[in-house]
Amino acid sequence: MSERGQFNLQQRVNIALGIAALCLSLIILRLWYLQVLRGDFFREKSENNRLNTVYVPAPRGLIYDRNGKELVTNRPSVNIELVEEDAPNPKQTISTLASILGLDPATLTENPAYLRKRRRFEPRLLLKDVSRDTLAKVAARRYQLPGVIINVEPTRNYAYGPFAAHVLGYIREITRTQLDSPQFAGYRIGDLVGQFGIESRWESLLQGKHGEQRVIVNALGTRIGEFSYEPEVAGSEVTLTLDYELQRVAEEGLKDKRGAVVALDPQSGEILAMASSPAFDPNIFATEISSDRWRDLVFGPDKKLNNRVVQGGYPPGSVFKIMMAVAGLAEGVVTPNERINCPGFLHFGNRNYRCHKQSGHGSVDLKEALAQSCDVYFYTVGQRLGIDRIHEFASRFGLGRPTRLDLVEENPGLIPSTEWKRRYFKNPEDKKWYPGETLSVAIGQGAVVTTPLQIARALAALVNGGRLLRPYLVKSVAATEGEFRDDRFGPEEQGRLDVEKRILDTVREGLVAVVNDPRGTGHRAQIAERKDIVVAGKTGTAQVVSLNLSGSHEHLNDHAWFAGYAPADDPKIVVVALVENGGHGGSAAAPVVSRVMAQYFGVKPAEGESQQSVTSVED
Amino acid sequence: MDFLDRRMWSQFDWYLLALAFLIPICGLVVLYSAGYDPDASDFLLKWLPGEIKSIPFEKQLFFLGVGVLVVAAALSIPTAWLQRLAYPVYGLCFILLIAVLIPKIGIVSNGSRRWIPLGIFNLQPAEFMKTALILTLARYLSRNLPRPGGYGFRQMLVPSLLFALPMYLVARQPDLGSALSLGAIGFSMLLFVGIRVRALVIMALTLVLAAYPAWHHLHPYQQRRVLVLFDPDADPKGSGYHITQSKIAVGSGQILGKGFLNGTQTQLEFLPEHTTDFIFSVLAEEWGFIGCVSVIFLYALFLVRILRVVARSKDVFTALVAFGVCAWFFFHTFINIGMVVGLLPVVGIPLPLFSYGGSALLSCLFGVGLVLGVAMRRLSYARG
């Protein structure tokens, strides 16, 4: 105890106590800050740490034909993916995989899906939709491929390949521009969205709603369990107005040709078949399509992505004479019985406007003029009507006006008029309408542009009592949640011809004669197997005005048209066929229409298409 | 031995003993959760009903049992023996510290050479050095008391070397945490006895001036640990990871905590080293602010109780022994919790009596035993 005299322990202890109290208080203050003041913030952070949101894609809605046949479905596809975190040497794994499959390693790593940014432990896509064979090879050598996983993913399946490709469209990964647009709010990078056709137009219904699975993960990213699950909602099922069999026949009719076929129910506007050739296989978009292939599809000489039914603009040629006949009668410039002489040409101004029959048709009335497609007769009617009255009636038939099919951007077509010329041209010289131009328009040439669907709509109006109906493709939508209603799914009248029934009947008699009169131009539209069903219609042979210098001679061939309906007295179907550079409408387009109609009226195609002898003179 | 003296038992600090075991028992509860593994099966306690799914818990429980013997052993050593043994023990520990640096003797774990394998467990010489240093400094300082006003530089040379040399050896392992704690214990013992104000001012100035070159002597990983303290978000997946995850664990515990075994940061292993250095984060996450304050309160009581022993000890030597132990506990507790809550840089210092680890627990309990011994002998006269 000797030292204690100079050593005040209590004082020293008190100082130590003070320092300790200060430090511990500091820690308690800090804990108060972290746990009480900012507790909610850190609680949320810890939740974000442990919960990973996994988006569960909803099965995309199926697409059916009008009879419930599945046209577009979903199938599982097998992808080969790589989790880099599980591979000690990802490069090594990739080159091993490449050598197993006999591929260049670069092809595995250069696809855009592989290069996309990703989270930790998120697999990178190496090969999409691999074959059974490839899968077997990879599975057998799995132990050599650390980090490689096999993933099954739903893929869109267009059951019949290029079948109705232009109607169905395709799906593809959402683009950056789409992501930014409000229309695609809620979509994420990598989502597959409809980019064309029905897939694009009805994207919002077909897509459904993806599910959100919140999984609990540990620090290594391994899933420990499920926290919550908001189930996905499957996309709505869309039933089209298309008839599978009819569509198939229409497409066969266009095999190896460029052209379009469309079949309508004239009473409702339902589209029964819509074929555009050449077509493409929408399934190719399921894999990563090469840019060369893409360019060929979009910009290639065949313009495969073009839906010629609504995007192809063609001069209607003699098909336009239907509208001319109605206009002539309705305006009283010609009577059904008036006979006009056709010497093979019409002299007007300083030149002769030729009829396609150089020897001339002789004296023809309206019915004969239609049946034989006499140009001189309609030059005369055209002269009497004048361009603006022609324009007026063509417009009533919906020509030069979009059909509002609402599938792709339509070619609106064009029916020239004096006003159009005034507005369209800058040069005062060009603004003037020349009477000679009227003659060209009268036979569906000159500046006249129509789409096959416009012609079909117009013909339907002629035969359904004068109602211009909007053509449509979607029959019904079976919504997965609640009942989906949309007034676009029924017939919709877009206008009326406002022409006496008597006049329409007179013109229809002429159209019956086109197919059935011995001198008619459209014999080959007859249904050989069903003589009881009378087909009516109009041929058309449109001169190709655009001079394609680089193209071969075939490019300058005429476009062949046939627009027909049947049965003649109670029309159930309107079919329009256009064959680009096909030559004569009666020989190139009419048989296509005939086959579609035969199918519609239950003739089995296997019974053979009896080739009718070509006896009549084509227009 | 001097057990037979009845006066000694009347002075026994049961309160301190209770605290010394209450804290590790709380630690065991937290450790059970920190080491929880649903796939684990009983390791040591197979005979107990029910299943214990936490291997660190069982091991720590075993060491706590051994700890009873260690406390008993420590408190039974007479003061005179402590004085006599101080230097030899220090010398032995010093040799062990050199030995551990030799590759064939010391084993490497987590990039530093800290342990000497001894079959059933690994010996960590730095842990024992703390006790040895306390005894040696207590002996040296009590026999070399300063003139009034405190120690000057010359008098501080020898005691400074006594803690600076082991500090250097430990830092070489490298084990910055233990080195710092040796320095803190040594310096606070000097300060407790007294240092001249002039010397203190000069030391403070030197410290400031030396900070710059010292900074460049730190390992880059150590530098980063300091830097992330100011901006942990700068590198949240790298060196800031520990502190970021620890703060999330602590903060997300909120007031009442997520509950036993429910700490997501802990159970899903976002929190690194959650059985050892970051055990307090587990407590904070699962037991919340209430749990943290309760445990800190236990530590505070524990420190106060040791300081009471210091104040009432019979001589400077025993006072210094008890104070050294007190400083040791205080620095470890403060630095560890300060690190866990993001107030101090990440240094590998375990929470005394709480963190998983046999060497640390036993050496802490040995320290407690020394204090208990000091307390019970405060009225007796040293003999011999």
ipTM: 0.92
- Chain A residues whose CB is inside 8 A of the B313 CB are 9
Per-residue pLDDT at A209 exceeds 80 = yes
User: Distance between CA atoms of B211 and A23, rounded to whole angstroms?
Assistant: 23
Sort A569 into a burial class: Cβ within 10 Å, 0-12 / 13-18 / 19+. exposed
Question: Do the beta carbons of residue A399 and residue A420 sit within 8 Å?
Answer: no
Domains of chain A: 54-131+141-240 (3.90.1310.10), 244-278+302-606 (3.40.710.10)
- Chain B residues whose CB is inside 8 A of the A32 CB are 289
> In the structure, what pLDDT confidence band is assigned to residue A111 with cuts at 50, 70 and 90?
low
Q: Model pTM?
A: 0.70
Residue A154, strand partner residues:
A76
3-class secondary structure per residue, A193-215: EEEEHHHHHCHHHHHCECEEEEE
- Partner B contacted by A220 (CB < 8 A): yes
Tokens of B186: 């040594």
B343 contacts A220? CB cut-off 8 A: no
B307 contacts A17? CB cut-off 8 A: yes
pLDDT value, residue A188:
82
Strand order across the beta sheet in which A271-277 lies: A271-277, A259-264, A573-579, A559-566, A536-542
Q: Are strands A237-240 and A63-64 parallel, antiparallel or unpaired?
A: parallel
Using CA atoms in the order A459, A462, A467, A469, what is the torsion angle rounded to 10 degrees? -10
Give the number of other Cβ atoms within 10 Å of residue A302's Cβ.
14
pLDDT in tens, A384-418: 999 999 999 999 999 999 999 888 889 999 999 99
Compare all CA atoms of chain A with the CA of B256 and give the residue at the minimum distance: A35
Which has more pLDDT, A55 or B344?
B344
Compare all CA atoms of chain B with the CA of A1 and give the residue at the minimum distance: B315
The catalytic residue positions of A are 318
Per-residue pLDDT at B380 exceeds 70 = no
Give the closest of B249, B289, B312 to A31, CB-based.
Answer: B289
pLDDT value, residue A289:
65
Q: How far is A7 from chain B (nearest CA, A)?
A: 8
- Partner B contacted by A293 (CB < 8 A): no
> In the structure, what pLDDT confidence band is assigned to residue A27 with cuts at 50, 70 and 90?
very high
Give the number of other Cβ atoms within 10 Å of residue B121's Cβ.
13
A3 contacts B142? CB cut-off 8 A: yes
DSSP code, position A587? I
- Chain B residues whose CB is inside 8 A of the A46 CB are 248-249, 252, 264-265, 270, 285
Tokens of B57: 């818990």
Which has more pLDDT, A460 or B226?
A460
- Chain A residues whose CB is inside 8 A of the B200 CB are none
Give the closest of B270, B300, B312 to A24, CB-based.
Answer: B300
> In the structure, what pLDDT confidence band is assigned to residue B236 with cuts at 50, 70 and 90?
low
Give the closest of B245, B311, B326 to A9, CB-based.
Answer: B311
Q: How far is B176 from chain A (nearest CA, A)?
A: 21
Interface list for A 338-357 with B (CB within 8 A): none
- Chain B residues whose CB is inside 8 A of the A21 CB are 300
- Report the b/e string of B17-52 with b at 16+ CB within 10 A: bebbbebbebbbebbbbbbbeeebeeeeeeeeeeeb
CA-to-CA separations, A360 to A345, A374, B54, in angstroms, rounded: 7, 8, 107
> In the structure, what pLDDT confidence band is assigned to residue A611 with cuts at 50, 70 and 90?
very low
Q: How far is B333 from chain A (nearest CA, A)?
A: 9
Give the closest of A27, A43, A219 to B269, CB-based.
Answer: A219
User: Distance between CA atoms of A354 and A349, rounded to whole angstroms?
Assistant: 13
Compare all CA atoms of chain B with the CA of A51 and give the residue at the minimum distance: B264
Tokens of B158: 């020898």
DSSP code, position B2? -
What lies within 8 Å, CB to CB, of B366 at 6+ separation is B70, B71, B73, B74, B131
Per-residue pLDDT at A367 exceeds 60 = yes
Query: Mean pLDDT over all residues of chain A?
Result: 87
pLDDT value, residue B238:
63
A39 contacts B310? CB cut-off 8 A: no
> What are the residue boundaries of the structural domains of chain B, listed by start?
6-376
The kind and range of the H/E element at B45 are none
pLDDT value, residue A174:
86
Give the number of other Cβ atoms within 10 Å of residue A41's Cβ.
13
pLDDT value, residue B237:
61
Question: Do the beta carbons of residue B20 and residue B1 sit within 8 Å?
Answer: no
- Chain A residues whose CB is inside 8 A of the B293 CB are 28, 31
Q: Which of B268, B320, B351 to mutate against chain A (most A CBs within 10 Å)?
A: B268
Strand order across the beta sheet in which A223-230 lies: A51-56, A211-217, A223-230
- Give the number of A-B residue pairs with CB atoms closer than 8 Å: 135
Per-residue pLDDT at A550 exceeds 60 = no
B292 contacts A31? CB cut-off 8 A: yes
Q: Which of A2, A3, A7, A13 to mutate against chain B (most B CBs within 10 Å)?
A: A13
User: Distance between CA atoms of A420 and A394, rounded to whole angstroms?
Assistant: 14
A45 contacts B248? CB cut-off 8 A: yes
- Partner B contacted by A4 (CB < 8 A): yes
- Partner B contacted by A49 (CB < 8 A): yes
A36 contacts B311? CB cut-off 8 A: no
CA within 13 Å, CB half, A98: 15
User: Distance between CA atoms of A107 and A80, rounded to whole angstroms?
Assistant: 13
pLDDT in tens, A495-530: 999 999 999 999 999 999 999 999 999 999 999 888
Per-residue pLDDT at A484 exceeds 60 = no
Per-residue pLDDT at A555 exceeds 70 = no
CA-to-CA separations, B84 to B79, B88, B384, in angstroms, rounded: 9, 8, 11
pLDDT in tens, A287-302: 666 677 777 777 777 7
A17 contacts B252? CB cut-off 8 A: no
pLDDT value, residue A219:
78
A42 contacts B142? CB cut-off 8 A: no
Question: Do the beta carbons of residue A600 and residue A288 sit within 8 Å?
Answer: no
pLDDT value, residue B3:
61
A7 contacts B311? CB cut-off 8 A: no
Question: Do the beta carbons of residue B196 and residue B149 sit within 8 Å?
Answer: yes
Residue A538, strand partner residues:
A563
Question: Do the beta carbons of residue A526 and residue A599 sit within 8 Å?
Answer: no
Give me the percent of chain A exceeding a pLDDT of 70.
90
Q: How far is A175 from chain B (nearest CA, A)?
A: 32
Q: What angle do CA B292, B295, B298 make, to 5 degrees?
A: 150
Question: What is the identity of the amino acid at A573?
Answer: I
User: Distance between CA atoms of B290 and B257, rounded to whole angstroms?
Assistant: 8
